[in-house]
Amino acid sequence: MRVHVAFTPAETVRAPVAVVVDVLRATSTIAQALASGYRRVLCCADVEEALEVRQRLGEGVLAGERRARAIPGFELGNSPAEFVEPRSETVVLTTTNGTRAIVAAAASAETVLVGSLLNLAAVAEAASEPGTAVEIVCAGVDGRFTLDDAYCAGRLAGLLGGERSDAAEAAVRLAASFASAEEALRAAENPRQEALGDDLAWCARESVLDVAPRLARLNGSAAEIVAG
């Protein structure tokens, strides 16, 4: 197995297996939603698209954020704590960075997994196939590198083992420089971190969910993610 880390979506090399990471908070929220009993999460790049998908389906919970703030008129934001009790079978989700990275990965990779610290071990197991090239794609913020996603990518790359690209090796060493996941996430220079509240500590918990969300299909232009 060869493991590569793309620290931003623009750096992707299109491996057969892509693991998208947006630890604060989209991929953490998706993992929590599916572990809690939602059947699927439809990831949309734009607010308008999410509204159209919800109208077309005639069911589902509208959820998402822009700049870490809940979207006016949507039923839920992007806090994983909001998804512990299912309100429907379907979540229609749009976020500033994470859902866009998932939709982009769906257009190029054969297999797309959704990774976070919450489901770290489960995703590592799902991605571990001998002879497979795995790319961990960090969603970042507005196309830029973020320490929180890089840390999560490094933890995942370390669990996967195999042959590492220089970027994957750098991520593993970066992750090893922190005493804990919460320390790493709090060290990130995220201008919207003050809006996260208790979500940062929630998302810093490692391997507490036994789900490996994966792309089932494209539902129109939305990426349909189901529990793996």
pLDDT in tens, 52-98: 999 999 999 999 999 888 999 999 999 999 999 999 999 999 999 99
Handedness of CA 199, 205, 209, 214 (dihedral sign): positive
pTM above 0.85, yes or no: yes
CB of 202 within 8 A of CB of 28? Answer: yes
What is the average pLDDT across 199-221? 97
Tell me the C-alpha distance between 189 and 95, whole Å.
19
Output the pLDDT for position 193.
64
What is the average pLDDT across 27-32? 98
pLDDT tens for residues 135-191? 999 999 999 999 999 999 999 999 999 999 999 999 999 999 999 999 999 998 764
Domain that holds residue 81: 2-226
Tell me the C-alpha distance between 164 and 103, whole Å.
25
Output the pLDDT for position 24.
95
Q: Is residue 130 pLDDT above 90, yes or no?
A: no
Tell me the C-alpha distance between 5 and 166, whole Å.
9
CB of 173 within 8 A of CB of 43? Answer: no
Q: What is the mean pLDDT of the chain?
A: 95
What is the average pLDDT across 2-27? 96
CATH of the domain at 196: 3.90.1560.10
Q: Name the percent of the chain lying above pLDDT 70.
A: 97
Output the pLDDT for position 153.
98
How many domains are there within the chain?
1
Q: Tokens 């919207």 map to which residue?
A: 192
